Every structure is written in C-alpha cells, then in structure tokens.
Chains A and B, each alone.
Chain A
Amino acid sequence: MNLGVVVFPGSNCDRDCQYVFRDILGQDVTMVWHKERSVAGLDAIVLPGGFSYGDYLRTGAIARFSPVMAAVKEFAEEGGIVLGICNGFQILLEAGLLPGAMLRNESLHFVCRDVCITVDNAATPFTCLCEPGQVLTIPIAHADGSYYADPVTVASLKANAQIVFRYCMPDGRVTREANPNGSLENIAGICNAAGNVLGMMPHPERCAESLLGHQDGRVILASLVESLVHQRLRKQELLSQLP
C-alpha cells in the first residue's frame, strides 16, 4: 500500500509516521508537501502531529487552507481513508471534515504523558484489529485537546457510534479522573459519519514497537493497513465479476 503523510510547515511527527508505516509495517510511504495539489496514487492519507503554522490564530486554522487540503477533502469525500493525529485532528476539525472544535486544555498545561483510552467502536477502518472495549495505553502531547461540540452534535456522534476512543482508567472505566484535558464525554478520537475519516489526540506512532516501552499504538496503524488490503481485495473481486 502507498500511504501519504502530509508535511505542513511545523509538522513534527511526520517522520515518526513514515517510520512506523514503512519500517515496522512494511508499507510504501510518500511524504506529501503541503503545497501539492494532488494526492493521486495514494491509498490513505495521514495528517501528522506538530504545530502547523505555529498554531497561529487557532490550532489547525491556517493549515486548513494549504493547497493540499482541497485534495485531501476530495479524497475523504470519495471514501478515502484519512487519519489525523493530534494537530492532524485539529486540522480535520477546522477543515470541517470532522464536527466540533478544540479548546485549550482545562488545566491550561501542555500535557505530555501516557494515557489509557478505550476502543468504543472497533468496527472502523482504524480499529478493525481491536476488541470492542479494549484498553490501549498511548501517549498524548498537546495543549489544545479539550474536544467541544454542541449538544446536538454530541448526541449524533453517540447515536452513530462516531466516538471511537475515550480516555479511561487502566481498567476501562470512563471517569472524570481519567480525562487529561477536559474533553467532552472524555472524547479522545472521533470519526465522520461514513467512518473513513478519524481524528485522535493520542499518538499511536509514538508507541508502535516494544523498544519504545510499549506498542499499543501499533494495532491502530496496523488496522488501517489491514483495511486498505481488504478494500483492495473487495475492489478486485468486484472487477473480476464484471462481464
């Protein structure tokens, strides 16, 4: 598979994503400079973490206008798999590819530590190798991760199972104590209604091999690759049925 990792000015987790997909999961990775206008030939797109455009105005607010984002939007609208991690999640929100917005952490601190998240929806392209309710330990590193949306939006996220990850205790209980940033409903990651676009604040690319302490992040990135393989097989099957 050929995964595209978008590089904005100020991205700083782009190489980590490249490393995990290429060296650990054995995929082709194309680094996509933000000035590109096409994402042709890519099977999935990753918007990595970092501080695109110095977080000027609001996190993700300027990156959303990068030339590549029009192509990413089109790719997502056609069902292409898009993963936004941390700043990538913030960009997806600003671009309107996911509902809601990010507020400053309730504590005002930049929080950088391991947290536990529970897999609320294991039927997405990003969690297909997870068990429902599985608890993963993955690091976060952000100052603006307090997810907010109006009550109508939150209700529809719940009704459509779009809340994919929630901050939890190590035993899986979702409590206020487990919430590192004040995020509504302990939301750590959501997907769009179609399920092909996911934004998450924790960094799976930072814990994808045991050398780095633990490798809970690997199952998420491996799920993405697995979904792409399935997608391709389905396509081939359909094509072979054509007269």
Chain B
Amino acid sequence: MKAKIHVMLKQGILDPQGKAVEQALIALGFRNAANVRIGKYMELDLDEQDRARAEAEVKSMCEQLLANPIIEEYRFDLA
C-alpha cells in the first residue's frame, strides 16, 4: 500500500512562509489569492495489505515523528 501524507501547521498558528508567498502572489497581480498556507507532502510504501492495520500504522508514524502534534495536523490517504 502507498500512503500519501499531508502535514500542515494547525489553524491559528502563524505561517510566515505562507504569508510571504501570499504577498508575492499579490505582487504578481494575483489579487484573488488569500490565506496561503504551506505544508509538507510525504509518500511512503507500506508492506501491509490490511487497510485498518495500515491506517493504524501510518497514524502512529504521524503522531510519533512525521508531524509534531503541538503545532501541526496531518491527514493521509491509502491506496
């Protein structure tokens, strides 16, 4: 199975990178752009056929290492 994982700063936590990119977009003329937030995307292969077990495993990976639950939230897809 392949896991596709997104890690984002939690809502409400200032994302200075997102803000800087937002200002750059506006400077380029994209005046409709707002609330830019920057996160991380990760992929990994998992040697596990059972969906429930795979989900539990990726969740545990996210909580222990891939995301810092104090400042970040995560979501993932399995395929």
- What residues of chain A have their CB less than 8 Å away from a CB belonging to chain B? 57-58, 61, 65, 94, 100-101, 103-108, 148-150, 182
Contacts and interface: CB of A to CB of B under 8 A. Distances in A.
B16 A107 contact: yes
Interface residues of B, number: 11
B71 A101 contact: yes
A94 B68 contact: yes
Nearest to A103: B71
B17 A104 contact: yes
Contact of A57 (B14, B16, B65): B65
Given A57-B65, A61-B65, A149 B14 contact: no
Contacts of B14: 103, 106, 182
Contact of B70 (A57, A105, A148): A148
B68 A101 contact: yes
Interface in B1-39: 9, 13-14, 16-17, 20
Contacts of A57: 65-66
Contact of A148 (B13, B16, B65): B13
A142 to B, nearest CB: 14
Given A57-B65, A103-B13, A105-B16, 10 more contacts: A61-B65, A101-B71, A103-B9, A103-B14, A104-B17, A107-B16, A108-B16, A108-B20, A148-B71, A182-B14
A101 B17 contact: no
Contacts of A149: 70
Majority-rule SS of B interface residues: mixed
A103 to B, nearest CB: 6
A104 B70 CA distance: 14
Contacts of A103: 9, 13-14, 71
A229 to B, nearest CB: 36
A107 B17 CA distance: 9
28 contacts: A57-B66, A58-B68, A61-B65, A61-B68, A65-B65, A94-B68, A100-B70, A101-B68, A101-B70, A101-B71, A103-B9, A103-B14, A103-B71, A104-B16, A104-B17, A105-B16, A106-B14, A106-B16, A107-B16, A108-B16, A108-B17, A108-B20, A148-B13, A148-B70, A148-B71, A149-B70, A150-B70, A182-B14
A104 B16 CA distance: 7
A57 B68 CA distance: 10
Contacts of B20: 108
Nearest to A104: B16
A61 B65 CA distance: 7
Top 7 closest A-B pairs, CB basis? A101-B70, A101-B71, A108-B16, A101-B68, A106-B16, A104-B16, A108-B20
Contacts of A94: 68
B23 to A, nearest CB: 11
